[in-house]
Amino acid sequence: MNDLLDALKLVTFPIHKEGYKFIFIFAIATAILALLSNFLGLIGIVATLWCIFFFRDPERVVPLEDNAIISPADGVITRVEYGAEAPEELGYGKQKFNKVSIFLNVFNVHVNRVPVSGKVEKVVYQPGKFLSANADDASIENERNSVVVKTANGTEIIFVQVAGLVARRIVSDLKTGQDVIAGQRYGIIRFGSRADLYFPENVEIKSLLGQTMVGGETIIAKIN
């Protein structure tokens, strides 16, 4: 019996709380479709399994390196830009940052993690469009939620959840004044999205264009 339980642990994974209602809806729809035909029921089962897979929330091993900034999301780095401006609503004006964008497809884990330890200085939600998350203008046009965390040495790190073409709902649990630890879960973006990070000059980017990121594990930059 214990061997069976151990085996199940290897093939199962935690589900993010935001996924339960969607899984329930998919399951009910599957039951209705199955009454109509076996084929439709099979499609419903596949869709329900995909929904469960989408909302998976696996454990991650957070690196303990000093001054490391870790990836807030799974996905692929699609853009590295030097001299970029932060989202207008954060109030940084024309101040320049180095920016890294991570694209999440519908098969990536969509649970987001805090990239660096510190105190939350700002949390700003901005309604917007739903352009493709790969579009150059997605960072300034799309729905987004921006967070600024100040580290113990005073460095401000900006990380932004950006909705995509399919994603229509950004969830963030962070509040201004909250103390956070690198790697902790803080939110999720539903069904395809993008994560942007903005670094000041004293942060060195340690990742490359096209590199695959593992949220909560891959070191994306370091504070000098």
Q: Binning pLDDT at 50, 70 and 90, where does residue 134 land? A: confident
pLDDT higher than threshold 60 for residue 148? yes
Range 105-118 average pLDDT: 92
Q: Binning pLDDT at 50, 70 and 90, where does residue 2 land? A: low
Q: Which listed residue (117, 139, 146, 193) is catalytic?
A: 193
What's the CA gap between 167 and 190, in Å, rounded?
Answer: 5
- Helix, strand or coil for residue 9? helix
Q: Output the pLDDT for position 122.
A: 96
Q: Output the pLDDT for position 4.
A: 41
| Active-site residue, 193 included | yes
Site of tokens 């290897």 = 10
The dihedrals phi and psi of 90, each to the nearest 5 degrees, come to -80, -15
Radius of gyration (C-alpha) of the chain in whole angstroms:
19
pLDDT higher than threshold 60 for residue 107? yes
pLDDT higher than threshold 60 for residue 173? yes
What's the CA gap between 203 and 126, in Å, rounded?
Answer: 26
The dihedrals phi and psi of 33, each to the nearest 5 degrees, come to -65, -35
Query: Do residues 79 and 209 touch, judged by C-beta distance below 8 A?
Result: yes
